[in-house]
Amino acid sequence: MIRIIRGSEPAKLVPLRIAKLAVLGSLGREPTSDEVVGYKEVATELWDAQHHKCCYCEQRIPKGFNDVEHYRPKCRADRRPGCAHTHGYWWLAFSWDNLLFACPACNRSGKNDLFPLIHGSISLLNPLLPPGNELPLLLDPGSAINPVEHIEYTESAIGRNGGPTHWWARPRNASIYGVKTIEVCELNRLELRELRNDHFRSTLAPQVEALNNSFRAHRLENTK
């Protein structure tokens, strides 16, 4: 996970939000998932802002795939361990700051409706805006908090007795936000570990090797 700079809210989102929230607010009840629609209008803007990568796992996503993700889930939220309330944040479903672009694995089977809060948090109610008295455990890649301060990637063996190595997401300095985000987004699933291995071998390792060769050549030149 890396920090995302969304940029300015697309102008078209403002009238869309006003119109949609007027309809949803008139229902007098929690809207269903099928009723909260239209936010995908800004899918391309999010896709571009995220350099065509998933907001949580950083996999590249084809443009045709437009799974717009809500950091605060739109219709149902599992806030455990900090809060037992399960209502969704439908009134934030069209808020630029709550929208992200995610891959199918992260959005549908990983994070899904999980939104863990710290014990003692008070969940937001319509029409309150974040953060209120909520303390999310899930890192928001679109916030001012840099995920790199909470998650690092280290190489270690798959088994306890050595053998092949993989690149694992680990909480940096035992960050509780790192622990929960890795768990919720399943950042150590096999496909991601294999992608990190491929990236290291094909891109990073040759660069490290070239740098080391350059340093060695420089040292030899200075000892002549």
Binding site for Zn ion (CB under 5 A): 54, 56-57, 103, 106
Q: Please, what is the minimum distance in Å from the beta carbon of residue 42 to Zn ion?
A: 19
164: phi then psi, degrees, rounded to nearest 5: -60, 150
| Residue type at position 81 | P
CB nearer to Zn ion: give 93 or 102: 102
What span, in angstroms and rounded, lies between the C-alpha atoms of 24 and 28?
A: 8
The encoded tokens of residue 34 equal 């099928």
H/E segment holding residue 33: none
CB nearer to Zn ion: give 9 or 67: 67
CB nearer to Zn ion: give 49 or 57: 57
Q: Please, what is the minimum distance in Å from the beta carbon of residue 175 to Zn ion?
A: 20
CB nearer to Zn ion: give 24 or 54: 54
**Contact predicate 90/74, CB 8 Å:** yes
The encoded tokens of residue 42 equal 């800004």
**Contact predicate 139/151, CB 8 Å:** yes
CB nearer to Zn ion: give 155 or 191: 191
Question: What value does the CA radius of gyration of the chain take, rounded to a whole number of Å?
Answer: 21
Helix (H, G, I), strand (E, B) or coil at 30: coil
Q: Please, what is the minimum distance in Å from the beta carbon of residue 201 to Zn ion?
A: 21
Q: Please, what is the minimum distance in Å from the beta carbon of residue 57 to Zn ion?
A: 3
Q: Please, what is the minimum distance in Å from the beta carbon of residue 98 to Zn ion?
A: 17
